[in-house]
Each structure stands twice: as structure tokens, then as C-alpha cells.
Structure 1
Amino acid sequence: MQHAEPTKNHSTISFDQSRLQIEDIVSIANKTASAALSPDPLFRAAITRGADFLDRLLAEDGTIYGVTTGYGDSCTVEIPPELIAELPHHLYTYHGCGLGEYFTPAQTRAVMAVRLASLCKGYSGVSVGLLEQITSLLKEDILPLIPSEGSVGASGDLTPLSYLAAVLCGEREVWRDGQHVPAAQALSEAGITPLRLRPKEGLAIMNGTAVMTALACLAYDRAEYLTKLTTRITAMASFALDGNAKHFDETLFSVKPHAGMQKVASWLRQDLQCEQTERNGKRLQDRYSIRCAPHVIGVLADALPFFRQSIENELNSANDNPIIDAEGEHVLHGGHFYGGHIAFAMDGMKNAVANLADLLDRQMALLVDSRYNHDLPSNLSGAVGPRAAINHGLKALQISASAWTAEALKLTMPASVFSRSTECHNQDKVSMGTIAARDCLRVLELTEQVVAALLITVRQGVWLRCRHTPAVMPEESLQQMMALLSADIPEIIEDRRLEPDLRLMLERIRHQNWTLYA
């Protein structure tokens, strides 16, 4: 994929037949990059060949699934020639039955960009005009209101993507400047003419994996950041607990060759004085939530390359049906709309991410308990003297973190094993990839809430450790992190409502405000 030079932190991503990365979709979703359809004449000619080939087949009375036949189990129903042009309209109309929360604007941009990427591969038989219409909607930030529930992940994300197809034609509703408005009104105000879909175009838009893949791109970005942030929190927790940094020794980790786990251990060595021998009185072995943290975080770190490969391969695929081979003049009927790879990646990711929440929850339980936190105050309260009796520090925060952790763990049941037979047993084995992706995003959300709680906790714990043992100072990287956290979170001396602090931490996490490890 060709990239223009960034201008004031904003770049343009040119869509053609070359390979996209997860980061391209995330940038478009977050509005730090714009989408543009490549002007390359060779690319546009390749797209046009597919549409022209379908036109020739129609003129020769060829039978084409979803063009001259009904859809799915109705593929044996022949469409009278005079009604063929109406068929795409019926497809997106009867699939307008989604429910649940609407996808956010960022998620919707990602969905649109992923569908555009697949159609640009040139195997869907669509026109350049359709690609331009999707690009125009992204440029004007006219975003279909897409209900999040109603897809089984094969034949692709039919129901949610019907909302994109409808909006391209000026129907249903959109996000426009943060408001819900009729699509026809938004298109008119932007000077965009509603499309009349060509015979295969409704199927090409809807019969694919764009929703689950878009959500997977966003999930990957968040999970990758959490591996680093959880590592930094672990280093701060180890320092606050007066832990044994030799647990992360380079020689020790060299004998277990998981690259991601070794990377996490190396990050911890950067943050802690691992080269020092145990001080007098230092414990020989810390509890597992500290000592085994690289082994827990490392599972996700080692899985991320596999997740990236699966997500990016799906992102860069033609995944509708049938596939139109204009060069060989073939219409190829298959099942590329099946989202099994995304389903597996999302089920695996949510498991690994929920384990981060569980790890941090265990670390917090040690930090607030005066039996295990090595001379820090109970519940990490900073109050001293008579007022210590009425102050409770982080007692309630630990309860909330435990609740968020439990909910995240509960959601780790794999969605992909719950295939259902649908659509008159035509779709008798389905991926559930979109449900898996939605579950993964919820697990990420809950884990980020645990992370927010732990950021408050380790900020308080490191401060109290330094107050208790002034001669012991954290490494420079932890000092810098403490300075950033301290700018947002005052020491907790008198009890206070922590929700505002938590919400600020969540904002920082989701905007990835802290630079963590090279």
C-alpha cells in the first residue's frame, strides 16, 4: 500500500491491490490517516475488467450466483432478466435486521476501510464507482449506523454490512458530526449522488469478513499496547513490593526460548536493577504474579505475530462469493466469506488478554494486603497518625478490579465452537468470527479497566515504598513513569472518589499516551 508523507501527523493511505497493514486500518479508524482510491490507470483498469466481464456474461444469458439467481438456499431460483437490477436492493433490504449497540464511529471507519481493501483486490466484479463511493463516505466522515449484533460470520458479515450497502444507496441512517441523520440527507449535503448498485455489487459488499476483520485490527492494536503497559506495571509492582529483580535474569531466560517471553523479561530488566545481588533479607522467591509475569505476559507477546499474520492475511484477501476471475474469465464459487481464521485469532487473543487482567488482579491483592506487601500500609493508604484509622485507601478499588477481572475471565469461552446451522442448512457451519471479535473487544475493555486500577495502585505503592525506604530509588524509566502518573494522580492520603482518576487513566490507555519500550 502506498503512503503519502505525513502532514501534521496526518497521512493518506492509497487503496489499490497492494498489501495493507493493521496500522493502516487503525489510523483510518482514529482519523490520523485518510483513505484515497489510487488513481493508477492499471489498477482502475483491473477493477473495470471484472465488472465488464460480468456484463458480458449477463448479455450472453450466463447463470451467475447472486446475479441471475437468488441468494443462499435460494440459488436454484432463477431471476427474470427484467428483475435482475432490483436484486441487490432486495439483498440489503431484507438483511436490515441487526440489533444491539451501534458500532462506534472509529469501528465503522475500520469496517468501511476493510471492505474497501477487499473489493480493491479486483476479484469481486464491482465498478470503480462503487469504490469511489466508499472512499467519498470516508472522506466526508459519513458513517453508516451499523448494529453490532446479527452476524454468524458466514456467509460473511451479511447483516451488518447491509447497512453499508444501504447507505451507499442513500438509505437508512448515518453518523454525521456525531449525530444520527438520514443517509439521503447526509449524502445530499455532501454533494454525493446515491448509487444504483450493479447486479453483483450488493453481494460483493455484504458477503465478506469486513466487520470481524476491522474489529480484529482494532483489538490487535490494543492488545499489543497492553503487553507493554502490563510489563511496566509489573516492574512498578515488583519495586513497590521490594521484590527480587533477579527473577528476570538474562541467563535464566535464555534457557526457555520463547521469544515473546524473553522480550518481556528484557523489558523488566530495563526497569529494575536486575544486575544487583539479593540484598540482606531479600526473599529468595517472589510469588508467582511477580516471578512468573514474563511467562504470563509472554504468552500474548508470542501469540501476537500469529494474530497479525491471520488478521492481515484476511485483510488483504478477496473474501466474497463468487470470486470473479476476469483474466481467466471464470466465475468461481467458494466459501472465502468464512471467518474461521479471525474467529480463532479473536478467541485466542481474548484468552491471553484476560490472563493479563488476572495477573494484575493478583498483583493488586498482594500490594494492598499488609501481610504480603512487605511493610507498606494496609490498602496502601497514605494517611498517618490518628486519621489513619478512618482512611481506607484502595480497599474498594481492589474489589472493583476483582469484579472486572472476573467478568473478563467469564467471557473467554470460545465463540468459534458455537457454530449454528442457519439459512435452511445452506449455512450449516459458520465461524462466529464477529461474535468472537466483539467478545475480544469487551475483554480488552475490562482488562483496560483493571490496568487503570493498577496504574493508580502502583503509583501509590512506589510512592509509599520510597517514603518507607528513602535510600531505595527506582530506575530512571520507572521514575519517568512515576512523574507522568503523578501529574494525573495525586497521592491518596485522605480517602477520595477514584472514578475520575480511573476514567482519566482509561483515556490515557486508549490513546496510548505513554511511550513504553523500544
Structure 2
Amino acid sequence: MVELTGDSLTLKQMEEILYNDDKITLNSDALARVKKGREAVENIVQNDRTVYGINTGFGKFSDVKIDEKDTKALQLHLIRSHACGVGEPFPEVVSRAMVVLRLNALMKGFSGIRADVLERFAYMVNHKIHPVIPQQGSLGASGDLAPLSHLALVLVGEGFVWKDGKPISAKDVWREHGLSPIVLEAKEGLALINGTQAMTAQGVVNYLEAEKLAYDSEWIAAMTMESLKGITDAFHPAIHEARGYAEQISVAERMLEWLKGSGLTTKQGELRVQDAYSIRCIPQVHGATFQVLSYVKEKLEIEMNAATDNPLIFDDGEIVVSGGNFHGQPIAFAMDFLKIGMAELANISERRIERLVNPQLNEGLPPFLSSEPGLQSGAMILQYSAASLVSENKTLAHPASVDSIPSSGNQEDHVSMGTIGSRHAYQIIKNVRNVLAIEALCAMTACMYQNVENMAPRTREKLEALRDIVSPIDQDRIFAADIQKIEQFLCI
């Protein structure tokens, strides 16, 4: 059980909620803050104070005053009109993350929403009621308006939710659970959609999957090293301490742990003086990716606990301020950085694949790891696929955050495109996983041409785990199925 306070949610807790179906509970002190914030909104409405989003229009319509009798209708119109998402839906795990993160942000008590609405969000998480949310349509400021509007539609019974992998009416789901749709009060529609939770939710999933892949890349690279009789001197601690990057030092330490006890690796001068960069520089390159992950983790954990609504309510309603916390620039930068860091893991992996299959580089292994070179192509086209994926990644890695298009009559004249960056990062991560799956298949096959008994105990254990799901390349077959099986093996 994870308690949401609005201030303390971690990526580790998100992993438990998203992948282990942990339930959530709402902190009582935070709920007390929420109730005070709601009282402030009700006082503003009753006293006819003019406050953006409570009794005014939105965006360019912010100067249009709304009568008290229309404040409820204003919120529903907002949700309906802003639900303009298009394209394929976000993965269900991202939808779940979005609900949790929007709920956690509202728990801070600065948004003026009723506790009843937040309790319904918690019910959705605990009963796996996950909105169907189209991926495209957000500029990343004013927050993720279109995606979060599709989330909010579920609350009012007008959207769709996932059930057994298919979308069904939210209205029908509430009926099944014996609950009525939420009727939005003043400011609540705006509070639900003015935030960065789409890009951040996708970013959380990106980070969790990327971190696992970064660790997986090490044992896969270690198997490649053994099959090529790589030189372990390159991982000597003194080299990495001399440079000083903690992440680089840690990768070198873990590589030596993976290869501990191996009879297949070599020392410098035994077969050759030094290895190619894709082998020798694993700590430097993989370590740099871990530096990126550290940066991304820091930004995500701040944003996960951030108030990204507008306006924000302070001092029991004495101070109501319009600002720009919905602007997704910090996450846009983080996602663009993540794209580059993960793309490089695939780049260096593809170069190791080339060394495994190229007869001029693979230290006497069969050409393309073929059991009958010429008659059977072996892993030749596996390298083609990896090359295609890393090339696609180079296009996807173009930073989304450098773009901006004015909107809302030029009132919202600079936007982050952070959700585009976050979505592209997820595509890159999927491509990286497939490249690593290809390297794993080639490395496993190459190790089989060596004396498997001489492998390091830990890499031998991984090889046996792979052999439980796919066979080494002993003859030509449809390798797409093998890649898919290993890719699933590498998933969280």
C-alpha cells in the first residue's frame, strides 16, 4: 500500500503501483489541506471575486466573466471541448500512471478541488479503472490539456476505460461499480486538466523501462565479451577512478562481477593488446547513459510531486495566483536527454553485433554465426534489423523541446512539446530493447561455439535462461519470433 501525500511519491513506489498493482491510500493531513483549498474556491464564487478559471473563461477567453449560475457548466464545457486527442491510445500502464500522478499533484491542496473527486481517483487506481487516452494532441503547455481531458471525461461518465484490452464506456463501468459519475463544481475541470501528467506519466514508464534495459545491457555485453575473448583489463578500477565519474566506475565494477570466473576472457597481450571501442569503452558509454538516467530521475521525482495547476490557491484563498507551472519545459528537456542516452546504448550494442557476425572481426567464429555459411545466412539479417533500429532512433532522438508553436490566439505563445519528446523516448526505448535482444541472441549463439563450461557463472546462468525461451542459431529459421521472445524477456 502506497500512501499519497502530494510531496513524497518516488519512482520506486510508482514501479510498485504500475507493475505490481500496489493499491494506494490518501494521507489524512493532505486531505485536510485539500478541503481548505476547496473552501477557498467556494468563498471566491460566493463573494463574486473575479479569479481565472473559477469564474472566467480560459486562455484567450480569460477576460470573459462567467455568471455564478454557469460556473458548473463552464467546467464541463472545458472538459468536453479540450478532449481533442487523436492517434493510438497511450499504453494502459501509462494511463494508470497518469491517474496516480494527477491525484498526487491535487493532494497538495493548491488546486481547490473537492476531496470526493480525489477519492474517486483513488478508487480508479485501486480497482484498475484506467482511462483510454489518445497519445497525440498535447503541446505540453498549458500542460497536457487534451490527454488529461480524456482522463477527466471518465470521471463525468463520458469517456472510455480499458477492460480486458478493449475500450468500454466509462458510464457503464460506473454503473457496474454502483457509482454515479462525478458532477464537476467550480474550478474542478481546470484543476483536472492543467498539468504535466501525460508527459510525466509516460516519462515515469520510460525511466523504469530504460533503467532496467541499462542494467540488462551489461550482462548482454558481458556475454559478447566472452564469445569474442575480450580483454578485461579495460575494466580495471584504476582506469575509471582516474577519470572520476561514479557511474562509469560502477559499470566497470559490475562488468567485472559479471565476468568473474570466466575462462573465456583474456588479458591484454594474450591474444591482442586492446579491444575495439564497443568492447573496451563499455564503462565510459554505458556509464554516460546512467548519468542521463540520474538526471532524468531527479527531474521526474520533482515533477511527480509538483503543483502544476493554474491558478494556485494559497493562504486559505487570500492569495490566488496565475502562473505557469503547467509549462512542461523541465520534463521536455529530460525526455530529450533520455532519448539521446538510450539511443547510444543501441548504437554501441549494434556495433558489438557487427563484431559478432562479421568474419573479419569475430575472432574465428563462423561467418554470420552460420552453421553452414553460404547455404544458411545465419545472423546476417539480424544485424540489418539492428542497424535499421538504430538509424530510426537517430531520427526520433531529434529534440522535441526546441520546437514551439503559438496557440490560443497567441496568449500561449511558447510551449514545450514535452509530451512529444516523452512519446518519442518510449519508441526509442522499445527499439533499444529489440537491439539488445538481437545482441543477446547473437552473443548466446557465439558463446555456444566456445566452451560454455568456461563461461563465468553469472553469464552462464543468463545464457541458460535465454535457452529456456529460444534456441541458439543452429539453422536458419524465422528469427522475428526469437527477437520478440527475448524482447519480452527483457521487459519489466
Aligned structure 1 segments of 4 or more residues deviating by more than 6 angstroms = 274-277
Query: How far apart in 2 are the matches of 1:339 and 1:361?
Result: 33
Q: TM-score, normalised by structure 2?
A: 0.96
Query: How far apart in 2 are the matches of 1:143 and 1:44?
Result: 23
Which residue matches 2:246?
A: 259
Query: How far apart in 2 are the matches of 1:48 and 1:225?
Result: 40
Query: How far apart in 2 are the matches of 1:278 and 1:371?
Result: 21
The structure-2 alpha-carbon separation of the partners of 1:332 and 1:479, relative to structure 1 and needing over 3 Å to count, comes to same
Q: How does 1:102-117 map to 2 (within 5 A)?
A: 102-117=89-104
Amino acid at match of 1:481: K
Which residue matches 2:345?
A: 356
Which residue matches 2:475?
A: 494
Amino acid at match of 1:377: P
Which residue matches 1:4?
A: none
Q: Deviations over 1:439-482 (max 9, x none)?
A: 10000011111011111011111111227xx7xx1221111111
Which residue matches 1:301?
A: 290
Query: How far apart in 2 are the matches of 1:225 and 1:277?
Result: 28
Instruction: Give the one of 119, 122, 144 matched to 2:106.
Output: 119
Secondary structure of the residue aligned to 2:23 is strand
Asked if the contact 1:73–1:423 (Cα under 8 Å) also holds between the matched residues in 2, the reply is yes
Secondary structure of the residue aligned to 1:180 is strand
Q: TM-score, normalised by structure 1?
A: 0.92
Query: How far apart in 2 are the matches of 1:227 and 1:348?
Result: 15
Query: How far apart in 2 are the matches of 1:342 and 1:332?
Result: 23
Asked if the contact 1:123–1:326 (Cα under 8 Å) also holds between the matched residues in 2, the reply is no
Asked if the contact 2:85–2:137 (Cα under 8 Å) also holds between the matched residues in 1, the reply is yes
Secondary structure of the residue aligned to 1:144 is coil
How far residue 489 of structure 1 moved from its aligned partner, in angstroms, is: 2.0
Amino acid at match of 2:328: G
Which residue matches 1:369?
A: 358
Asked if the contact 1:248–1:274 (Cα under 8 Å) also holds between the matched residues in 2, the reply is no
1:437 and 2:418 aligned: no
How far residue 25 of structure 1 moved from its aligned partner, in angstroms, is: 2.2
Query: How far apart in 2 are the matches of 1:484 and 1:354?
Result: 26
Q: How does 1:179-258 map to 2 (within 5 A)?
A: 179-258=166-245
Which residue matches 2:86?
A: 99
How far residue 371 of structure 1 moved from its aligned partner, in angstroms, is: 0.8
Which residue matches 1:80?
A: 67
Gaps of 5+ in 1: 1-11, 512-518
Which residue matches 1:22?
A: 11
Amino acid at match of 1:483: E
What is the percent sequence identity of the aligned residues?
33
How far residue 309 of structure 1 moved from its aligned partner, in angstroms, is: 1.0
Query: How far apart in 1 are the matches of 2:321 and 2:25?
Result: 29
Which residue matches 1:514?
A: none
1:317 and 2:340 aligned: no
Asked if the contact 1:243–1:283 (Cα under 8 Å) also holds between the matched residues in 2, the reply is no
Amino acid at match of 2:445: Q
Query: How far apart in 1 are the matches of 2:182 and 2:267?
Result: 71
How far residue 274 of structure 1 moved from its aligned partner, in angstroms, is: 9.4
Asked if the contact 1:370–1:378 (Cα under 8 Å) also holds between the matched residues in 2, the reply is yes
Secondary structure of the residue aligned to 2:41 is helix
1:145 and 2:132 aligned: yes
Query: How far apart in 2 are the matches of 1:160 and 1:447?
Result: 26
Secondary structure of the residue aligned to 2:401 is coil
How far residue 279 of structure 1 moved from its aligned partner, in angstroms, is: 6.7
The structure-2 alpha-carbon separation of the partners of 1:290 and 1:56, relative to structure 1 and needing over 3 Å to count, comes to same
The structure-2 alpha-carbon separation of the partners of 1:404 and 1:277, relative to structure 1 and needing over 3 Å to count, comes to closer
Secondary structure of the residue aligned to 1:390 is coil
Which residue matches 2:47?
A: 60
Gaps of 5+ in 2: none
Query: How far apart in 1 are the matches of 2:121 and 2:143?
Result: 19
Aligned-pair Cα RMSD in Å: 1.7
Secondary structure of the residue aligned to 1:57 is helix
Query: How far apart in 2 are the matches of 1:43 and 1:492?
Result: 57
Amino acid at match of 1:187: W
Query: How far apart in 2 are the matches of 1:18 and 1:320?
Result: 15
